[in-house]
């Protein structure tokens, strides 16, 4: 039995139960070892599925936290799978782990016909991690965290001509342009919006300051300022 099928059946077996289901019964039903059941349940728990219990006692879904079946059209599911694969390939480690966990949850509760559709998706985004891409992934995680926390960043930046400068920026968003990332920000030195390439950021550190959400320096104002297809890289 495929692992995705096992995960789906574990959740299905626990759905609606009032008493804990022993791991041994799950193992017998699935035709696998107790160790496999323990590992599968632990993976589901780490992914956020609300399973309570432990080895030797049994398992059940947390009261009031039953998981409804997912209803995707084949085209919707294909879009989800492709999005997850691109998130794994082109973002940092944090979103890579989140994409893996989300896909695990989705596969666990999909009907059989749609789980088979997942396997037939033939659009791939191979994950490549060398020193350069790993460093970029860590920087993307740092930038994403700064955006979420509204943290002012001090960056050493090298522009296209090789000129170095140090900036204080208020990061607002990340955008992927089919090969290159940009971080949209309010640049305090230029007193204007700029889009910086993360691969040209030499150093980056939080200043410890949290920037306010000012109307003229907000994400909405940035998107209006740059216009569709007119993002200028910071200089």
Condensed to tens digits (0 to 9), the pLDDT of residues 12-34 reads 888 777 889 999 988 988 889 99
In angstroms, the first-to-last Cα distance of the chain is 56
Q: Give residue 216's pLDDT band: very low, low, confident or very high (50, 70, 90).
A: very high
| CA separation, residue 228 to residues 145, 182, 220, 231 (Å) | 25, 14, 13, 8
In angstroms, the CA 126 to CA 205 distance is 30
Q: Give residue 65's pLDDT band: very low, low, confident or very high (50, 70, 90).
A: low
| 137 close to 91: Cβ distance less than 8 angstroms | yes
In angstroms, the CA 174 to CA 13 distance is 41
| 181 close to 175: Cβ distance less than 8 angstroms | yes
A 10 A CB-CB count for 4 gives 19
Higher-confidence position of 5 and 141: 141
In angstroms, the CA 234 to CA 191 distance is 12
Look at residue 196 and tell me whether its pLDDT is greater than 80. yes
What's the mean pLDDT when you consider all of the chain? 87
What percentage of the chain carries pLDDT values higher than 70? 91
Q: Give the least confident one: 75-89, 117-131, 135-149, 157-171.
A: 117-131
């Amino acid at each position: 039995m495929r692992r995705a099928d096992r995960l789906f059946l574990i959740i299905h077996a626990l759905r609606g139960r009032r008493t804990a289901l022993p791991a041994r019964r799950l193992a017998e039903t699935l035709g696998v070892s107790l160790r496999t059941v323990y590992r599968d349940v632990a993976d589901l728990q780490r992914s956020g599925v609300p399973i309570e219990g432990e080895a030797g006692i049994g398992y059940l879904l947390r009261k009031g936290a039953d998981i409804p079946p997912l209803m995707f059209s084949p085209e919707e599911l294909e879009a989800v799978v492709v999005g997850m694969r691109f998130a794994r390939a082109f973002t940092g480690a944090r979103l890579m782990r989140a994409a893996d966990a989300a896909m695990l949850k989705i596969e666990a509760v999909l009907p059989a016909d749609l789980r088979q559709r997942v396997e037939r998706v033939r659009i791939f985004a191979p994950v490549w991690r060398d020193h350069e891409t790993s460093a970029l992934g860590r920087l993307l995680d740092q930038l994403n965290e700064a955006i979420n926390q509204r943290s002012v960043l001090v960056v050493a930046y090298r522009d296209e001509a090789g000129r170095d400068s140090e900036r204080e920026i208020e990061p607002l968003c990340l955008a992927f342009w089919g090969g290159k990332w940009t971080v949209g920000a309010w640049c305090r030195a230029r007193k204007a919006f700029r889009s910086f390439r993360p691969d040209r950021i030499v150093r980056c550190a939080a200043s410890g300051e949290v920037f306010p959400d000012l109307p003229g320096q907000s994400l909405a104002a940035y998107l209006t300022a740059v216009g569709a297809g007119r993002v200028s890289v910071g200089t």
